C-alpha cells in the first residue's frame, strides 16, 4: 500500500524534470539559432550534421539544404587551402583558434570570418566530430581596408613631400661631399685636427643621405633588381661601409648563392649591424650565420647586447618607432619591407642580458 502511494509522487517529480529539460533545451535552441555567430557541427569526415539558422541564412541557404553537405562546399576559392589546413589542424590537435577563412554564399559572393573549432565526443568519450564557431568579420575587414586606404593616401603625400625635400637636399649635400673630397686630396697640407673635422663632415653627410634614402625607399619602394648574388659578398660589401670600431664580427665560412637585389639586402644587413653596434655601445660581438633549408636560405644576425625588453618587442617593426634620439625609426621597418618583398620573413629572438638574434628566411629564387 505504501509503495502505491509513493508512485504518483515519483511521476510528478519526473514530469517536473522532463519539463525543466524541455525548457532548457528550448532555451538553448533559441540561443543557438539566434546567435550572431555561425555555428555548425560536423562529423569526422567534414560533413555538416547540424547548424544554426544564422549559419544557413548567412550563406543564403535553408538549414535543410546545408545538412549532410561537406564544409568545403561553402568556402571561397581563395580559402580552400586554409580550410584544409584548419581541418587537418583540428584532426591533429583537437582544436582550431581564430583562423581567417573566407566563406562563400549561395550567390557566389564571399565574406571574411574567424573560425574556431573544438572536439565533439559521444557518451563513451570517443571523438565523433567537432563544434565550430564562425564569426563574420566583414565590418572589421572593411574598417581595416579603409584604414589601409587612408595609410596609402598619407604615404603618397609623404612620398611627394619626401621627393621634393630629397631633391632640394641632394644638390647642397653633393657640393659638400665633393668639397670635402677635394680638400682631403690635399691632406699633406692639412693638420690632423682639420682632417678629423673633414672626416666628421663626411660621415654626417653620409648619414643624411642614408636617412633620406631610407624614407624614400619606405614611402615609394623601387622595383627589385634581381640578380644572382653571393651572400658572403653582400655581407663583405656591407661591412666595408661600416665603422665596426672594437666590435668583433664572425662571418659564415660557407658561401650561398641567392637570387636577390644585392643593394637592398645590403640595406637590411647594414641596419641590423648598425643597430647591434649601437645597443652594445661599441663593445661586444656580432655573429652572422647562414644555412640552406631546401629552396630557402636562413640568415641569423646575433649580437651580445642587452636584449630587447618584452614590452617593446611588439613595436620594433612599427613605422617611426625608435628608442634612440637619432634615426628615422624606419630601419627595422625597411628591413621587414625589403625581406617581405623578396618573399621572405624576418623574426627576432631576444634574451635580456644575453643578446638578440634577427632571423631572416629568404627563397633562393624569387618566384614571380
Burial class (CB in 10 A: 0-12, 13-18, 19+), 332: buried
User: Of 150, 176, 288, which Cα lies nearest the Cα of 232?
Assistant: 288
Average pLDDT of span 1-5: 49
**First vs last C-alpha separation in the chain:** 90
Average pLDDT, the chain: 85
Number of residues that this document lists for the chain: 368
pLDDT tens digits for 264-317? 999 899 989 988 998 898 789 999 999 999 899 999 999 999 998 888 888 888
**What pLDDT score does 115 carry?**
95
- Helix spans in the chain (H): 2-34, 53-59, 63-66, 80-93, 138-184, 192-219, 231-240, 262-279, 331-341
The answer to whether the beta carbons of residues 215 and 162 sit under 8 Å apart is yes
User: Of 272, 224, 276, which Cα lies nearest the Cα of 245?
Assistant: 276
pLDDT tens digits for 150-180? 877 776 776 677 677 777 777 888 888 888 8
**β-bridge pairing 127-136 and 296-303:** unpaired
Give the integer Cα–Cα distance in Å for 260 and 231.
10
Quick one: what percent of the chain has pLDDT higher than 90? 49
**β-bridge pairing 110-121 and 227-230:** unpaired
Q: How confident is the model at residue 192 (pLDDT cuts 50, 70, 90)?
A: confident
Predicted confidence (pLDDT) at residue 44 exceeds the cutoff of 90: yes
For residue 356, give Cα distances in angstroms to 84, 242, 286, 302, 333.
Answer: 36, 20, 10, 6, 17
For residue 2, give Cα distances in angstroms to 13, 150, 330, 368.
Answer: 17, 82, 88, 88
Predicted confidence (pLDDT) at residue 324 exceeds the cutoff of 90: no
Amino acid at each position: 500500500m505504501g509503495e502505491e502511494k509513493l508512485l504518483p509522487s515519483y511521476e510528478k517529480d519526473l514530469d517536473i524534470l522532463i519539463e525543466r529539460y524541455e525548457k532548457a533545451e528550448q532555451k538553448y535552441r533559441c540561443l543557438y539559432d539566434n546567435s550572431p555567430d555561425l555555428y555548425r557541427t560536423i562529423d569526422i569526415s567534414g560533413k555538416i550534421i547540424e547548424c544554426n539558422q544564422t549559419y544557413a541564412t548567412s550563406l543564403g541557404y535553408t538549414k535543410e539544404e546545408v545538412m549532410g553537405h561537406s564544409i568545403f562546399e561553402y568556402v571561397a576559392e581563395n580559402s580552400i587551402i586554409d580550410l584544409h589546413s584548419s581541418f587537418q589542424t583540428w584532426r591533429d590537435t583537437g582544436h582550431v583558434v581564430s583562423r581567417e577563412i573566407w566563406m562563400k554564399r549561395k550567390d557566389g559572393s564571399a565574406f571574411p570570418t574567424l573560425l574556431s573549432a573544438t572536439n565533439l565526443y559521444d557518451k563513451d568519450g570517443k571523438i565523433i566530430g567537432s563544434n565550430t564557431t564562425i564569426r563574420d568579420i566583414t565590418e572589421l575587414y572593411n574598417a581595416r581596408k579603409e584604414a589601409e586606404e587612408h595609410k596609402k593616401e598619407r604615404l603618397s603625400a609623404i612620398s611627394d613631400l619626401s621627393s621634393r625635400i630629397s631633391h632640394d637636399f641632394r644638390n647642397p649635400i653633393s657640393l659638400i661631399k665633393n668639397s670635402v673630397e677635394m680638400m682631403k686630396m690635399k691632406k699633406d697640407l692639412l693638420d690632423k685636427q682639420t682632417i678629423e673635422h673633414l672626416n666628421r663632415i663626411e660621415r654626417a653627410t653620409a648619414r643624411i643621405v642614408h636617412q633620406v634614402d631610407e624614407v624614400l625607399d619606405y614611402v615609394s619602394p623601387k622595383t627589385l633588381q634581381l640578380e644572382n648574388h653571393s651572400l658572403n659578398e653582400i655581407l663583405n660589401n656591407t661591412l666595408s661601409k661600416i665603422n665596426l670600431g672594437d666590435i668583433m664580427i664572425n662571418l659564415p665560412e660557407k658561401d650561398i648563392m641567392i637570387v636577390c637585389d644585392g643593394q637592398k639586402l645590403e640595406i637590411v644587413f647594414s641596419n641590423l649591424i648598425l643597430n647591434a653596434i649601437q645597443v652594445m655601445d661599441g663593445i661586444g660581438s656580432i655573429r652572422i650565420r647562414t644555412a640552406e633549408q631546401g629552396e630557402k636560405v636562413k640568415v641569423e644576425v646575433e649580437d651580445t647586447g642587452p636584449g630587447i625588453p618584452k614590452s617593446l618587442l611588439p613595436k620594433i617593426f612599427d613605422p617611426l618607432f625608435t628608442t634612440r634620439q637619432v634615426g628615422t625609426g624606419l630601419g627595422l621597418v625597411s628591413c621587414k619591407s625589403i625581406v617581405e618583398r623578396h618573399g621572405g620573413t624576418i623574426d627576432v629572438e631576444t634574451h635580456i642580458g644575453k643578446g638578440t638574434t634577427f632571423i631572416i628566411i629568404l627563397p633562393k629564387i624569387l618566384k614571380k
